Structure 1
Amino acid sequence: MTAALAPVESRPASTGETDTRHSNTFLRLKKKLERGVGEAIGDYNMIGNGDTVMVCVSGGKDSYTLLSCLLALRERAPVDFRIVAMNLDQKQPGFPDHVLPQYFESIGVEYRIVTEDTYSIVKDKIPEGKTTCSLCSRLRRGIIYRTAKEIGATRIALGHHRDDMLETLFLNMFFGGKIKAMPPKLVSDDGNHVVIRPLAYCTEADIARFARAMDFPIIPCNLCGSQENAQRKQIKTMLQGWAREHPGRIESLATALKNVVPSHLADSRLFDFVGLTRQTVVEEGDTAFDPLELPQPASATIRLMMPGADD
């Protein structure tokens, strides 16, 4: 393993970058993302005074955006916290290992680069054509936790966004038999680390637009990012289709993650169905006989009134 921890000075943006990044459209988008990150941090108490936040930067649009938002928010936050950008160089063939150090130095952020050949391990253990995500993520997790301990990080920030959380929800329902998504904040299994996802309220579409405008030096993942047969890609396609055909559906799904009603599911660990009596107070009341009334989209209402709609 090799590592470097370096505080550096910032470099001014070029004239073209400055022009693009001061358009009204871009400034609204930037404000929207930073507001979403700020709300998530506040809602889940993600960062406190004196925290050291290790931001995991892969070289993709999400982690670049996360780092940018946290750096901007730190400038006006009511609490003082340290940010350390961290990248794991997994020794993928052709990985441009100069890109991230140069970027970190250009924006003046403290950083650490960790080099470990997990690529060879994954390629050796996983048969050709099979998804590598599971083993790769386990190896990365161990290295990230170790690095966080070495630098004294009290928070580990990951770049997962709202769409990632919904995709995980459906992956677990379809293939794992669980109603389970990505939490905005969690404690590691060993109890030593707090992991946060400040982009929990941000959409992938907004992040992609922001990354293009910022012209981040994106590094593609050749190890797993190109695996078109991965189940997650199929779920992503399904959700994107819903977003196009049924405006508002994805927003409703995201809201549902924060509005769970255990008494109207079937998990006895979350609600005491066995001990339920006539005196038990149930949050949502009796829906045993009456159909649940839901708002009807305007397009569906029009279609139902058209002649032959039931054909």
Structure 2
Amino acid sequence: MVDQKQIYNFNKLQKRLRRNVGQAIADFNMIEEGDRIMVCLSGGKDSYTMLDILRSLQQNAPVNFTLIAVNLDQKQPGFPGDVLPAYLESLGIEYHIVEENTYAIVKDKIPEGKTTCSLCSRLRRGILYRTAGELGANKIALGHHRDDMLQTLFLNMFYGGKLKAMPPKLMSDDGKHIVIRPLAYCREKDIERFAAAREFPIIPCNLCGSQPNLQRQVIGNMLRDWDKQYPGRIETMFRAMQNVVPSHLADSNLFDFRQLNAGDPVIAGGDLAFDRETLPAVPVGWQDEPEELLQLSVHQRLPVTEIK
């Protein structure tokens, strides 16, 4: 017998994800009337969750749009090619499987033992752009979430010397499509719980046998440690990405420091670089999780038929 409390907790989690996705879509005008959206499915928890939530929102959206799920089968040894088609068939959703042997290209170009993720990503991106054009999709939806965006911010700061992250919406490299990230406001731990409860048929991302992206792994571990030790810090950092003050950084391309003279209007508080008196007692955007929601862990499973 299914625990009614677990179902209640799952429904709360699902509503949170729907609310976060809906807010991101509204804030960045991600979806418009008549859009045909190519939803990129990797077989991981993030893209499964993205498709599930978008399909749910589609039923009551104020605009009409269509979804087509697309998976790129890169011919990694052991890739279970039947998993995604079977799952998508069960949903009755339009889908397309692209078969390209990028695995052989990557193995030929990258020395043994080196990380293959960078080249693999570039090849995959080009193929997906081409596929979007072939399928008549004007939007491409990727499953990156809030934690991915923060990881990219710190990766660029620590290793690239740039203040740059993943934007929720951007122009594709070829200039022909808009790329959207509907999960931009969603926490990874919420997605993990949701995917576990839904029992999505997860396909592991290590089939190619390459080493993990160690730099991203280090940043990810750092953020998770901060989240445990300092609740609310992740939310505050993400809010900072939405609250940039160019006059208090050091990029002369964003702010004209050369033309700043005495007697000009004070900008953004002047010399108050860190005004402690204005900081809230609780970090902006952070909400403590009730104990009953935490009980819906990644180890619990709910039959889909029991979930409303």
TM-score under structure 1 length normalisation: 0.86
Deviation at 1:222, TM superposition (A): 1.9
Task: State the aligned residue count.
Answer: 281
* Structure 2 partner of 1:247: 231
Q: Give a deviation string over 1:21-60, Cα, whole Å, max 9, x none.
A: 9811010101100110000000000000100000000000
Distance, in Å, in 2 between the alignment partners of 1:173 and 1:263 is: 19
Letter in 2 for 1:292: D
* Structure 2 partner of 1:220: 204
* Structure 2 partner of 1:199: 183
Question: 1:225–1:154: structure 2 CA closer, same or farther, 3 Å change rule?
Answer: farther
Letter in 1 for 2:221: T
* Structure 2 partner of 1:306: none
Is residue 74 of structure 1 aligned with residue 54 of structure 2?
no
Q: Give a deviation string over 1:166-206, Cα, whole Å, max 9, x none.
A: 00000000000000000000002321110000000001000
Letter in 2 for 1:157: A
Distance, in Å, in 1 between the alignment partners of 2:76 and 2:5 is: 32
Q: Give a deviation string over 1:101-124, Cα, whole Å, max 9, x none.
A: 000011111000000000111111
* Structure 2 partner of 1:132: 116
* Structure 1 partner of 2:96: 112
Secondary structure at the aligned position of 2:31 is classed as: coil
Secondary structure at the aligned position of 1:144 is classed as: helix
Is residue 292 of structure 1 aligned with residue 275 of structure 2?
yes
Any conservation in 2 of the 1:36–1:202 contact (CA below 8 Å)? yes
Question: 1:281–1:192: structure 2 CA closer, same or farther, 3 Å change rule?
Answer: farther
1:167 pairs, out of 151, 154, 160, with 151
Question: 1:229–1:35: structure 2 CA closer, same or farther, 3 Å change rule?
Answer: closer
Deviation at 1:293, TM superposition (A): 1.5
RCO comparison, higher one (Cα < 8 Å, 6+) = 2
Deviation at 1:279, TM superposition (A): 4.3
Any conservation in 1 of the 2:143–2:183 contact (CA below 8 Å)? yes
Deviation at 1:224, TM superposition (A): 6.2
Within-5 A mapping of 1:1-311: 23-223=7-207, 227-228=211-212, 230-287=214-271, 292-293=275-276, 295=279
Indicate the RMSD between aligned Cα atoms, in angstroms: 2.1
Distance, in Å, in 2 between the alignment partners of 1:225 and 1:199 is: 28
Runs (5+) with no aligned partner, structure 2: 283-308
Letter in 2 for 1:197: R
Question: 1:150–1:26: structure 2 CA closer, same or farther, 3 Å change rule?
Answer: same
Work out which of the two has the higher radius of gyration on C-alpha atoms and give 1 or 2. 1
Deviation at 1:81, TM superposition (A): 0.2
Letter in 2 for 1:176: G
Any conservation in 1 of the 2:24–2:182 contact (CA below 8 Å)? yes
Question: 1:118–1:246: structure 2 CA closer, same or farther, 3 Å change rule?
Answer: same
Secondary structure at the aligned position of 1:79 is classed as: coil
Question: 1:187–1:169: structure 2 CA closer, same or farther, 3 Å change rule?
Answer: same
Secondary structure at the aligned position of 1:195 is classed as: strand
TM-score under structure 2 length normalisation: 0.86
Distance, in Å, in 1 between the alignment partners of 2:40 and 2:4 is: 27
Letter in 2 for 1:66: M
Question: 1:64–1:121: structure 2 CA closer, same or farther, 3 Å change rule?
Answer: same
Deviation at 1:227, TM superposition (A): 3.0
Secondary structure at the aligned position of 2:251 is classed as: coil
* Structure 2 partner of 1:305: none
Question: 1:291–1:140: structure 2 CA closer, same or farther, 3 Å change rule?
Answer: closer
Any conservation in 2 of the 1:159–1:198 contact (CA below 8 Å)? yes
Any conservation in 1 of the 2:79–2:207 contact (CA below 8 Å)? no
Distance, in Å, in 2 between the alignment partners of 1:21 and 1:140 is: 42
Question: 1:183–1:256: structure 2 CA closer, same or farther, 3 Å change rule?
Answer: same
Secondary structure at the aligned position of 2:140 is classed as: strand
Letter in 1 for 2:140: I
* Structure 2 partner of 1:301: none
Letter in 1 for 2:68: V
Taking only the aligned residue pairs, the percentage that are identical comes to 64
Q: Give a deviation string over 1:282-301, Cα, whole Å, max 9, x none.
A: 4422226x863264879xxx
Any conservation in 2 of the 1:44–1:184 contact (CA below 8 Å)? yes
Letter in 2 for 1:293: R
Secondary structure at the aligned position of 2:257 is classed as: coil
